[in-house]
Structure 1
């Protein structure tokens, strides 16, 4: 942060559905990351150069009372907030304007928290947006800076505690997947499979799916963001399952593709093994210093080679390809890796080199609508200071022969 500046971070709203219905509360990951506070109507202020030492870190919380405790459950008291966050100065929210006036007279720059994630597409006005509007109107002479680039760099490199929590999320996902391997057979419905995952996740102290699950049988797998999960699984088809458990607000992100009947056809297995080879070779490239864009070019070369081997492309397709949309993109049209952590598509500046302790997915796929199947395989890995990345999903079955053996045991 610049000298003599402060930064403000807001909780998310509880979002309405209609009438008195609301969506389950999900904390804004930035205030959670910085404070551990997982409660609505909370505000964190950081002011490292504040002349009054007690105002260098401040938490503002919604005042709790016995009535709230009875109807909604206990909220953070000032003492509990200190235990959670380590922040000694805790005020109730109704004192915020008065305290903010004092500290705003002592600072020159205010860091506001905007969403600059490369996938962000937000139409809702957030609590953070409303606060920023109020702040800029009330204090127009202050310089405004943005905290997001700082947070992108901080959050993309994981602390050992964070890696442990992501590992826990992956372990819960593993239990769900092993349960499903024993459950799937011709005639089950995609939503039955989703329910099996959910049962296992909730039973293992997860709140549920880290993102909307994809359970795509047959040709549904060729729709990349298929989430209806309402079709029957037929003998001879494959099921692409892109699911992951959350744990303590941290995500896991797994994809496996399994045969409904417990055995791959020869063609399905050939394509499956090609995808798995690309995943294994791509994983080796995730080392400190790797450039994200250059990495994807190299993965494209691996995939091109496999598609030639499968007869899906010929040499003429490759020689005549459009460099902006290479030939392999006909069968593999999405990226291979994204940051993962508190958000499934986590923070990270993609134009900066990869660093140790970043967590990435590796998820190549081949999609063949003419054959009514698509195959994607995905693991979550931690970049190491030296050597190949550490696979957090190393215990989740992935080899075609192992999948068949487990489904038929």
Structure 2
């Protein structure tokens, strides 16, 4: 494991929170993600199911977690199933978790090998009334392959058709949107690693450097600090590429006089950072580039000022959009006539600002959490306004990661990452 051990009490607390949302006499079953195949005998790097990790801290394939809070036996209330290491597997892959190591990591006393799962489940499921199963219900998710969770749903409903099946996804939406202090510390570490990577590349950026060379330097800086690398596919977008919101080719040379947009974030212990900064490839912003840059920076600062506990996401978004419209008028990109003639389907600002202001951040870069209700303490959110002027080849997006605190303020987890135009220019020189 590259990251330091996480206190098992985080996972114990998370399981305790889950129990308060369950129907009486309920059984919960959570599976690890699949090892995804490549061609021939290759596999993709394993990425753990974030809900399973949230409740157990176990970072290993073929893991299953069963929770039965109302079980008649104490040893049935929490059961962890892990892959057994044999002599052949140990030669090729090394040892997997021992039962004691898995117990120490998760705080779960009862640990069995995965090959015992079906027989034990058959005993427990006959006593339970409700069965909670997991699916990916993220509003932006597109699942084109059948997951291990989906296969288990089919298997379970076919074998036990008369039980009452429940969705755990809505509960995860509530739980994961509010972070524990241990989670915030892990996100802060991911942000710290991201900051170090960003600072390290500023003096190296110059014309003719290829975007993927910058990606490679960032990857090195992230990995050598205990990260497994990028939390998401990085966007290293120079010139007109900065106006492509999810540009990931990263294969164009950086040209003199243009801007470089960096949307990057390190992963640490499965938790994500999500940073966006824009820098001048020559080391100095032009007058127009700086004008647009400072407009976006003013919107960012305003958004961070008004994003407070108790504010509705709807009011927050409306206020920020009003500020964006003001800045677009100042930049002479839209005028009062454009505002007057806009429709609800095609607002004037959308030509230059096409995405949302904020999203939850945590075990996923676009993490689970309510974005329609009220902002609450211990939410971790991004703030990421942008202005994209395709005809000028100027794309500016600035992004920080913040924690909503209980005292009516916000904690900026990226407060030490350079963001003022003059500061960036100084560091590049």
TM category (shorter chain) comes to over 0.9
Of 86, 94, 99, 1:78 maps to 99
Residue 372 (1) aligns with residue 393 (2): yes
Secondary structure at 1:182 match in 2: helix
Aligned to 1:93: 114
1:320-369 deviations in whole A, cap 9, x for unaligned?
11123321111001001000001000000222312101100000000001
Residue 33 (1) aligns with residue 82 (2): no
Residue 388 (1) aligns with residue 401 (2): no
Aligned to 2:330: 309
1:207-232 deviations in whole A, cap 9, x for unaligned?
00000000000000111110000000
Which runs of structure 2 are paired with 1:184-199 in the superposition (5 Å)? 184-199=205-220
CA distance in 1, matches of 2:86, 2:23: 39
Aligned to 2:316: 295
Aligned to 1:266: 287
Aligned to 1:331: 352
Deviation at 1:273, TM superposition (A): 0.2
Aligned to 1:132: 153
Stretches of 4+ aligned residues off by more than 4 angstroms: none
Give the RMSD, CA atoms, in angstroms.
0.9
Aligned to 1:179: 200
1:9-31 deviations in whole A, cap 9, x for unaligned?
00000100110111000000000
TM-score (norm 1): 0.98
TM-score (norm 2): 0.94
Aligned to 1:13: 34
Aligned to 2:16: none
Aligned to 1:146: 167
Deviation at 1:293, TM superposition (A): 2.9
**Structure 2 unaligned spans of 5+:** 1-21
Aligned to 1:227: 248
Of 216, 240, 255, 2:276 maps to 255
- The answer as to whether partners of 2:377 and 2:405 remain within 8 angstroms in 1 is yes
Aligned to 1:240: 261
Aligned to 2:123: 102
**Structure 1 unaligned spans of 5+:** none
CA distance in 2, matches of 1:350, 1:178: 32
CA distance in 1, matches of 2:54, 2:427: 39
CA distance in 2, matches of 1:246, 1:38: 14
Residue 165 (1) aligns with residue 186 (2): yes
Deviation at 1:97, TM superposition (A): 1.2
1:156-176 deviations in whole A, cap 9, x for unaligned?
111111100100000000011
Of 31, 40, 52, 2:73 maps to 52
Deviation at 1:62, TM superposition (A): 1.6
CA distance in 2, matches of 1:11, 1:371: 47
1:66-124 deviations in whole A, cap 9, x for unaligned?
32222101101111111111111111111111111110111000001111111111111
CA distance in 1, matches of 2:50, 2:175: 12
CA distance in 2, matches of 1:344, 1:170: 12
